């Protein structure tokens, strides 16, 4: 959506007015959307957009200035060690009872009713996660239909009556999925990041913040429903880069509580520390959120992407194969330990990262995956995390076995609060790693074309974060003309050849029923993205329009 179109929204035939200064794309105003965009909800959305959009734009511009400095050779660094945030005697608001046990959290796209019910319910082994994060961000493509379906699914989860029916097909009978309100995980919502625009709703000539829209609609329609069931309204916020961004969100939380005549600290939020700049400001970010903080999360996958993106032009920090970068790398271990130390000193929960496996097709592979998940989660528990994430219900029980207490808030890791957090350039850098990146790029963008934001691929759950790692790493290797461990230099021609070979391999695996046109288009898009002359900060900065600009 171009600036000229946005500015002319009041007269453009593709948009219609919802309220004074508020317009929506005509194709977005479905019956399902109308049920959410009530006059009072639209009024609150407009009020929040007008109050917070100017500062959001300033914060996004500040990101660009900082990145320009990093691109010129600077690196992120710690701030003032004598500030009130660092030296002050403060703690976060006391945690509500239902946020003191978060041993295993499961996450997935909020738009899939079936997946939401499965995340909130017990698996086939009888295990249930403590919390389920219903995601508007990395695992969901932000198409308008997905966003609207997501809000409705959240509201069904908030009520505890969400239901999904899969009709009978052939020999397969009808199957009903029904949420059990008396035995379900704690409902949480992850909103979109600060950088993402919602193109379908415009206020005073500007597209609204996607995260603000997610937050306003779920809060306005769902907060009191949750409270009536004695459930804390709980959010996740992704991709924060600076403590002033945390202040922006905290101010928004305050305004939303006031709008519903609810006391401060009713809304609680966990922020993902998943960018390299944020890792240097953990205490400052938590300080800004202290009235609303539930905890912080070690978002390992987006953090790896941010490490590469932030220092992409630094020749001494060219990263290894993505599969070889784990929490055992010194800078990753240091950042996790620092997060736990600060959170527990200040009374907040410290959540670990994602086990991204999807269960393999044979018993031997599933056993190997289970052993890896068990080792990873035991490492996190031993370090002092209060809980962790899984991406598939199959691994809930395995992950849960590592966390034998409700929480570990009393565990404060020893060590320097200011460790070295800068990633180090190293190997391995392999042809197989390049092939993995290409396969993920093709497969993810093929799903993206179909409005899918996460895919089960090669026994892993690949979401936007892992797509971003794959394309950032490939781009960085190409930019720095890396020579792989096998002696082959990384060139654009090599990358294109690898993409062609991997597409052919995918066709062999999928067989004759694959939609070859869709896969060819995804292959072309991924190859162009991975070899672009300039690095694109994110795959997407705005949602797609619900329909054409007629």
Q: Percent helix, strand, coil in the chain (nearest 5)?
A: 45, 15, 40
226 phi/psi in degrees, rounded to 5: -65, -45
Tell me the CATH architecture of domain 47-400. Answer: Alpha-Beta Barrel (3.20)
pLDDT given for residue 10 in this prediction: 61
User: Are 530 and 441 within 8 A, CB to CB?
Assistant: yes
Single out the catalytic residue among 128, 190, 300, 329: 190
Give Cβ neighbours of residue 414 (< 8 Å, ≥ 6 apart): none
Domain ranges in the chain are: 47-400, 431-530
pLDDT tens per residue across all 550 residues of the chain: 444 444 556 678 999 999 999 999 999 999 999 999 999 999 999 999 999 999 999 999 999 999 999 999 999 999 999 999 999 999 999 999 999 999 999 999 999 999 999 999 999 999 999 999 999 999 999 999 999 999 999 999 999 999 999 999 888 999 999 999 999 999 999 999 999 999 999 999 999 999 999 999 999 999 999 999 999 999 999 999 999 999 999 999 999 999 999 999 999 999 999 999 999 999 999 999 999 999 999 999 999 999 999 999 999 999 999 999 999 999 999 999 999 999 999 999 999 999 889 999 899 999 999 999 999 999 999 999 999 999 999 999 999 999 999 999 999 999 899 999 999 999 999 999 999 999 999 999 999 999 999 999 999 899 999 999 999 999 999 999 999 999 999 999 999 999 999 999 999 999 998 999 999 999 999 999 999 999 999 999 999 999 888 6
Tell me the CATH architecture of domain 431-530. Answer: Up-down Bundle (1.20)
Give Cβ neighbours of residue 1 (< 8 Å, ≥ 6 apart): 199, 207, 542, 545, 549
The question of whether 463 is a catalytic residue gets the answer yes
pLDDT given for residue 4 in this prediction: 40
User: Are 276 and 311 within 8 A, CB to CB?
Assistant: yes
The answer for 195, left when phi > 0, alpha when psi is -120 to 50, beta otherwise, is alpha
Q: Which two tokens stand for residue 203?
A: 């206020």
Tracing tokens 């961000």 back to the chain, one arrives at 137
Single out the catalytic residue among 138, 149, 214, 463: 463
pLDDT given for residue 279 in this prediction: 98
Task: Verify cis geometry, omega within 30 degrees of 0, for the bond prior to 89.
Answer: no
Cα dihedral 60, 65, 71, 74 sign:
negative
Angle at 401 between CA 395 and CA 405, to 5 degrees: 130
- Gap between the Cα atoms of 92 and 523, Å rounded: 47
pLDDT given for residue 5 in this prediction: 44
Query: On the CB side of 64, how many CA atoms lie within 13 Å of its CA?
Result: 8
The DSSP line for 416-476 is: -SS------------HHHHHHHHHHHHHHHHHHHTT---EEETTEEE-HHHHHHHHHHHHH
User: Are 200 and 144 within 8 A, CB to CB?
Assistant: yes
pLDDT given for residue 356 in this prediction: 87
pLDDT given for residue 549 in this prediction: 80
Query: On the CB side of 236, how many CA atoms lie within 13 Å of its CA?
Result: 31
Alpha-carbon Rg for the chain, nearest whole angstrom, is 23
The DSSP line for 12-78 is: -TTEEEEETTEEEEGGG--HHHHTT--HHHHHHHHHHHHHHHHHHHHHHHHHHHHHHHHHTT-----
Cα dihedral 16, 18, 24, 27 sign:
negative
pLDDT given for residue 1 in this prediction: 43
- Gap between the Cα atoms of 438 and 490, Å rounded: 13
């Amino acid at each position: 959506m171009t600036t000229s179109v946005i500015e002319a929204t009041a007269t453009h035939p593709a948009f219609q007015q919802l309220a004074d200064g508020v317009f929506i794309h005509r194709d977005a105003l479905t019956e399902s959307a109308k049920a959410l965009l009530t006059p009072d909800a639209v009024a609150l959305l407009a009020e929040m957009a007008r109050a917070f959009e100017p500062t959001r734009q300033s914060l996004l511009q500040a990101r660009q200035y900082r990145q320009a400095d990093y691109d010129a050779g600077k690196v992120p660094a710690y701030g003032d060690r004598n500030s009130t945030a660092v030296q002050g005697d403060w703690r976060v608001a006391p945690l509500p009872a239902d946020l003191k046990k978060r041993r295993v959290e499961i996450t997935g796209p909020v738009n899939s009713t079936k997946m939401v019910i499965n995340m909130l319910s017990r698996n086939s082994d009888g295990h249930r996660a403590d919390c389920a994060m219903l995601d508007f961000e990395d695992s969901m493509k932000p198409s308008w239909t997905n966003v609207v379906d997501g809000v409705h699914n959240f509201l069904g989860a908030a009520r505890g009556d969400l239901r999904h029916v899969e009709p009978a097909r052939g020999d397969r009978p009808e199957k009903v999925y029904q949420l059990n309100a008396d035995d379900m995980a704690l409902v949480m919502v992850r909103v979109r990041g600060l950088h993402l625009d919602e193109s379908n709703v415009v206020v005073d000539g500007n597209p609204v913040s996607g995260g603000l829209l997610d937050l306003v609609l779920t809060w306005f329609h769902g907060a009191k429903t949750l409270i009536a069931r004695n459930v804390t309204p709980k959010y996740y916020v992704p991709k924060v880069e600076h403590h002033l961004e945390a202040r922006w969100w905290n101010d928004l939380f305050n305004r939303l509580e006031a709008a519903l005549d609810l006391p401060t600290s009713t809304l609680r939020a966990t922020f993902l520390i998943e960018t390299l700049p944020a890792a240097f400001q953990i205490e400052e970010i938590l300080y800004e959120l202290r009235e609303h903080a539930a905890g912080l999360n070690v978002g390992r996958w987006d953090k790896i992407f941010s490490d590469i993106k932030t220092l992409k032009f630094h020749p001494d920090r060219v990263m290894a194969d993505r599969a070889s970068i784990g929490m055992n790398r010194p800078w990753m271990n240091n950042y996790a330990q620092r997060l736990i130390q600060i959170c527990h000193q200040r009374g907040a929960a410290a959540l670990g990262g994602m086990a991204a496996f999807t269960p393999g097709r044979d018993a031997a592979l599933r056993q190997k995956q289970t052993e890896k998940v068990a080792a990873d989660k035991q490492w996190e528990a031993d370090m002092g995390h209060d809980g962790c994430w899984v991406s598939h219900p199959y691994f809930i029980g395995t992950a849960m076995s590592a966390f034998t207490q409700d929480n570990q808030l009393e565990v404060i890791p020893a060590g320097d609060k200011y460790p070295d957090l800068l990633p180090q350039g190293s190997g391995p850098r392999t042809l197989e790693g390049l092939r993995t990146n290409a396969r993920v790029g093709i497969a993810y963008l093929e799903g993206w074309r179909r409005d899918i934001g996460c895919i089960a691929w090669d026994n892993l759950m690949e979401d936007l974060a892992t797509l971003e790692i794959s394309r950032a790493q490939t781009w960085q290797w190409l930019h720095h003309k890396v020579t792989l461990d096998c002696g082959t230099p990384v060139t654009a021609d090599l990358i294109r050849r690898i993409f062609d070979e991997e597409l052919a391999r995918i066709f062999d695996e999928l067989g004759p029923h694959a939609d070859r046109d869709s896969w060819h288009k995804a292959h072309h898009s991924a190859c162009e993205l991975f070899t672009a002359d300039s690095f694109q900060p994110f795959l997407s900065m705005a949602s797609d329009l619900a329909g054409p600009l007629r």
